[in-house]
A = this chain, B = another copy of it.
Amino acid sequence: MQTANAALNSHAAPSAALLRGTPLARSAPEASALGSFRRLAKDEEVFVEGDRAAFFYKVQSGAVRTFKLLSDGRRQIDAFHLPGDIFGIEPGEEHRFSAEAVGDATVISYRRSNLNAETKDAGDIPNEMIPAVLLSLVRAQNHMLLLGRKNAVEKIASFLLDLSGRTANTDQIDLPMSRTDIADHLGLTIETVSRSLTQLERQGTIELPAHRRCIVLRNKPALERLDM
């Protein structure tokens, strides 16, 4: 079970500017000064549910998925973390998720205990990390609505819009993750993801080029109507 953290050799405190900005602003990747790099191969573990939460992380390149498993292997990916995103902050001593690289990725790890002790509060979460926690919460709350009350096509539409807003300036999305990952994020099966994408393509809302990891948004208003 213990794996990932052993590979870390971080000993520096993170920059105070780590999480500056508006509550929901993502700090830019280049703003991360101190902390140790870690290069991850596709599907490599960063930490496993139950590990001691000695570090938290910021994605520098690639993408990371955090997820929980049921005993029979069913998986729920609570979030994909893109460059600039922070993940692995825990209220308690242990990680309550597992984290893996979606594709090849690099992350910066920060030793939790190295943060200024006096900035710590009752929750044992330093002030600088609170915006990241709040962002997680907002996303989790929106995602509950998606998981509980949207149908397959609506889930896909919301997902594409979210990803588009977080990554692309254009209407072209380069998916870092597989259909299986998308399915486990949206509470669907891989086949339903595929069929929903096909359906959106047939009605001209999106375009699915030959390269399967790419999706072009052809009719954003139509997607937005599905997202309300």
Can you list the 4 inter-chain pairs with the closest CB atoms, starting with the nearest?
Answer: A148-B187, A147-B147, A140-B140, A121-B127
Taking a contact as CB atoms under 8 Å apart, the answer to whether A96 and B130 are in contact is no
Q: A71-B228, A76-B145, A143-B144 are in contact. Are A91 and B125 (CB under 8 A)?
A: no
What's the least CB distance linking A131 to chain B, in Å? 5
Q: How far is the CA of A149 from the CA of B77 in the complex (A)?
A: 10
Q: A124 contacts which chain B residues (CB < 8 A)?
A: 23
Q: A128-B122, A130-B121 are in contact. Are A24 and B92 (CB under 8 A)?
A: yes
B70, B123, B133, B138: the one contacting A145 at CB < 8 Å is: B70
Q: A59 contacts which chain B residues (CB < 8 A)?
A: none
Interface string of A141-155 (1 = CB under 8 A from B): 111110111100000
Interface string of A98-137 (1 = CB under 8 A from B): 0000000000000000000000011111011011011111
Interface centre among A19, A68, A149 (most CB of B within 10 A): A149
Taking a contact as CB atoms under 8 Å apart, the answer to whether B70 and A150 are in contact is yes
B24, B74, B134, B228: the one contacting A70 at CB < 8 Å is: B228
Enumerate chain A interface residues (CB-CB to B < 8 A): 19-21, 23-24, 68, 70-71, 74-76, 78, 91-92, 96-97, 121-125, 127-128, 130-131, 133-138, 140-145, 147-150, 184-187, 228
Interface centre among A23, A24, A123 (most CB of B within 10 A): A123
B91, B131, B185: the one contacting A122 at CB < 8 Å is: B131
Q: How many copies of the shown chain assemble into the complex?
A: 2
What's the least CB distance linking A155 to chain B, in Å? 10
Q: How far is the CA of A111 from the CA of B123 in the complex (A)?
A: 21
Q: How far is the CA of A186 from the CA of B149 in the complex (A)?
A: 9
Q: How far is the CA of A127 from the CA of B91 in the complex (A)?
A: 14
**6 A-B pairs in the complex with CB atoms less than 8 angstroms apart:** A21-B122, A24-B91, A70-B149, A76-B148, A97-B141, A123-B133
What's the least CB distance linking A212 to chain B, in Å? 23
Q: How far is the CA of A68 from the CA of B74 in the complex (A)?
A: 27
